[in-house]
Structure 1
Amino acid sequence: MLTLASALAAADQTAPQALDFNLYMQGKYVYERNCIVCHGARGDGNGELSATLKPKPRSFREGMFKFRSTPYGMLPTDADLRRTITHGLSGTAMGMFSHLQAEEVEAVMVYVKSFSRRWRKPENYAPAMKFPPPPEWFKEAGAVKTHAEAGKKLFTANCAACHGEKADGKGAAAVTLKDIWGLPAAPADLRQPHLRCGDGPEDLYRVLATGLNGTPMVSFEATLSAAQRWDIIAYVLSIRLPSGPVL
């Protein structure tokens, strides 16, 4: 039997769709019981707890989402939204909402989309990019070390200005960076054992390919080859601290 969740998952919306009022109202119910305290009644990130949280909860009103599989500047796919809702974002107040039923996740996605007009415009949609699997050399310690050494040089040239020579998020430009909401956009400390984008090589590759909408972290799709990006990823993984950095 084809359920609502499986039907929507199969479609994985990549274009505006007519609003299903019943789904919208179900999503409103889910949002008010799980999301409103942080993201606010208007979806502007100004919920009751927002003043105490760092980073600040996402405002949905601009329709800008950092973690996506779509090209820079584009809206996320439904699969991207599901991943964030169900798996959360490490290092933030956005926890895992794995207790929600699939139908509840689909409904709250519909409601979240109602906060921004960007979801109504076809030009803001794009299909998910196709990413290559991690190279086979990731399975060989000696090869990983060699690629990590090459990746360190690439990291210094392309990433250190923001993320710092030690990848600790304290690059020379870090204190000047802001996001589109005018808030400080602190570069990630890449030594952390868990990153918001995910922990695997493929998660890091996705960010390098897509960038993070609304932040100074742009896509490197046009400036670094796939091989160069994998080398950088090997370096980042090589400096990860098991228990996180000592602050």
Structure 2
Amino acid sequence: MFPLLTRARLMLILAIAASASTNGCSTNEAEFRQNLVYVKAQEKTLKSEINPRQLQDVDNVLVAFFGTPDDPRVPQVGDETADLLSQSRLEMAAGAVSSNEQGNPQGLYREHCAHCHGVTGDGAGPTAEFLNPYPRDYRMGVFKFKSTPKGENPTHEDLRQILVNGIPGTAMPSFKLLPEDELESLIQYVQYLAIRGEVERALIYECANELDRDDRLVDFDAAETDRETYNEQVEYVTSIVADTMQRWVDAESKAVPVPARPEPADLAASIAHGRELFYGPIANCVKCHGDSALGDGQKNDFDDWTKDWTVKIGIDPNKAESGEEIEHFIAAGAFEPRNIHPRNLRQGVYRGGRRPLDLYWRVKNGIDGTPMPGVLMKPEGAGPDAQGLSPADLWDLINYVRQLPYEELSETGLRKPNFQRDRL
């Protein structure tokens, strides 16, 4: 149960949000774009349209909890998540590019990020369609390169590593030269946009799958006519926001520990064993990365951001007859589907980082949002006949992968792409 003061304050904010949506806002203000692609995906599954009034309720609730691009708000949903986001950090990152009277910068996100990732964090900024791969859409809360298992949010440090190091082989640059307070503001603003996007998806799903067509997500008129119903609606949407934020808090304790990397007495033997694992049935890296590790094992799959509005709802982007349906989603804001290609391991370019522990996380955890699975590991304390890899096996596999760029096959020119697009 949420504190009475918090609930009363939320009710007031919700009423203000509803009034703002009715009266309209200044056209000079930036706006968060509604996730119409997800709306259309839910409608295709339902075979009917979601009530526009319910979608307006979603927008009102989002404004109440998260504010606007020019006036962000940290959701107040309980003590457990109170330290996740800082209002002052969000204000430094949000809004138009400017500085205050003290010379402190504002609008950092629009200055450094929005041209690719979009004001909404939907990965649909002005340059996005021309980039390969497309910029990250934060709204699913899914990030590829992190220390946590698949299905978990990244840690704060994971996001920091991406900002500091960039992502090699993509248009994502390093922001290593930014002052620490600016980096921190951008990290928290990315978290804020991701949380907002996850909540939006949850609310849209609620409208599509749990509410009857004439039901309201939050009926503002009921604040005067049916206070009990209104309170229940407010508490329910508050619980959705709280649960979403709590998952980000919990992620901080879910980073997968990396055992010390052993120094093999015989590196050649370690690499040879790693090669056996690469081509063997348990790790089975060859299935996707190919016999020559050039990333040509399969080239017909898609990432989860594309599957969310295609494969997941019965559309096969590889089939020509899907073209009309795909165009329908592109009109709603989706980008043309692109196949996701496994990494060419002979190039020595590792998007998630080249440190041994980075590669350990990629192989053990898999890469979220992609077909790359985590490798099967033996249970701790299991005997030698148990199925899966031991930590020592995993390090041998990593040793093999790390030496691939230096093999003769790699030096013959196969690892050197002929065109810039092949690098991506």
Q: TM-score range by the shorter chain?
A: 0.7 to 0.9
The corresponding residue for 1:40 is 118
Q: Secondary structure at the match of 2:305?
A: coil
Q: Determine if the alignment matches structure 1 residue 218 to structure 2 residue 296.
A: no
Correspondences of 1:189-208 after superposition (within 5 Å): 189-208=344-363
Correspondences of 1:68-79 after superposition (within 5 Å): 68-79=146-157
Correspondences of 1:132-171 after superposition (within 5 Å): 132-137=259-264, 143-157=266-280, 158-171=284-297
Spell out, residue by residue over 1:2-53, the C-alpha distance to the aligned partner (whole angstroms, 9 max, x if none).
xxxxxxxxxxxxx744543221111221110000111111111111111111
Spell out, residue by residue over 1:218-241, the C-alpha distance to the aligned partner (whole angstroms, 9 max, x if none).
222534221221111111112114
TM-score normalised by the chain length of structure 1: 0.85
Unaligned stretches of 5+ residues in structure 1: 1-14
Unaligned stretches of 5+ residues in structure 2: 1-79, 95-106, 199-242, 307-337, 378-387, 418-424
Q: Say if 1:133 and 1:202, in contact at 8 Å, map to a contact too.
A: no
Higher relative contact order (CA 8 A, sep 6+): 1
**Separation in structure 2 between the aligned mates of residue 234 and residue 22 of structure 1, nearest angstrom:** 44
Q: Say if 2:121 and 2:137, in contact at 8 Å, map to a contact too.
A: yes
**Separation in structure 2 between the aligned mates of residue 17 and residue 208 of structure 1, nearest angstrom:** 34
Spell out, residue by residue over 1:131-163, the C-alpha distance to the aligned partner (whole angstroms, 9 max, x if none).
0122111xx6xx221111111121112111101
**Separation in structure 2 between the aligned mates of residue 215 and residue 43 of structure 1, nearest angstrom:** 19
Q: Determine if the alignment matches structure 1 residue 228 to structure 2 residue 294.
A: no
Q: Name the % identity.
A: 36
Moved more, 210-219 or 77-86: 210-219
Q: Determine if the alignment matches structure 1 residue 105 to structure 2 residue 260.
A: no
The corresponding residue for 2:88 is 22
Question: Which amino acid is 2:339 matched to?
Answer: P
The corresponding residue for 2:302 is 178
The corresponding residue for 2:311 is none
Q: How many residues align?
A: 227
Spell out, residue by residue over 1:71-119, the C-alpha distance to the aligned partner (whole angstroms, 9 max, x if none).
2211111111111001111101111101211111111112111223348
The corresponding residue for 1:53 is 131
Alignment RMSD, CA only? 2.0
More helix by share: 2
**Separation in structure 1 between the aligned mates of residue 304 and residue 367 of structure 2, nearest angstrom:** 11
Correspondences of 1:58-137 after superposition (within 5 Å): 58-117=136-195, 118=198, 120-123=244-247, 125-126=250-251, 127=253, 128-137=255-264
